[in-house]
Amino acid sequence: MSIDSITSASGGIYSAAAVEASAAKDPSKLGKQAFLQLLIAQMSNQDPSKPMDSDSLMTQTSQMASMESLTELSTTQRESFALQMRANAAGMVGQDVSYLGPDGTTTVTGTATTVSFAGTVPTVTVDGVEVALDAVSALSVRRPTPAA
């Protein structure tokens, strides 16, 4: 992303180099704060005989609001997916699951006994072996046996 240089008498914190340096420290912070800094610099350095077009200001503000909404939506989707993975992993306990063995060609089947949520991807313990949830290739649901 390229940011055009904004010149000011002081060349202070609102320069493009300062904004890019701030983004380099933490790329996720190039957002609302950078937008506000650039907007302030733009307004303080505008030609008084040619003030900023109100349509342009509204467009920039709308774009910022859209970006914030998309960021929030992305975060919500990521959290929802993580919750769904945890629920799916928990549902495997007591079921027969299959996964590829250490050689990468043999399918191993066993009973899932425990689930761990310690890592970014839940792991299922299958007959004493920890298997990442995304490595499980099949799930056999056991039907309860009818009482006699």
Token readout for 96 is: 């027969």
| Contact partners, residue 6, CB within 8 Å, separation at least 6 | 14, 15, 16, 38, 41, 42, 45
What kind and span of H or E run contains 123? strand 123-126
C-alpha dihedral over 85, 91, 95, 96, to 10 degrees? -10
User: What pLDDT sits at residue 146?
Assistant: 67
Task: Convert the pLDDT of each residue in 35-77 to its tens digit.
Answer: 777 777 877 777 777 776 777 778 877 887 888 888 899 999 9
Angle between helices 54-90 and 32-44 (to 10 degrees): 170
Cα distance between residue 3 and residue 93, in whole Å: 52
User: What pLDDT sits at residue 10?
Assistant: 41
pTM over 0.85: no
Mean pLDDT of the chain: 76
Cα distance between residue 42 and residue 51, in whole Å: 10
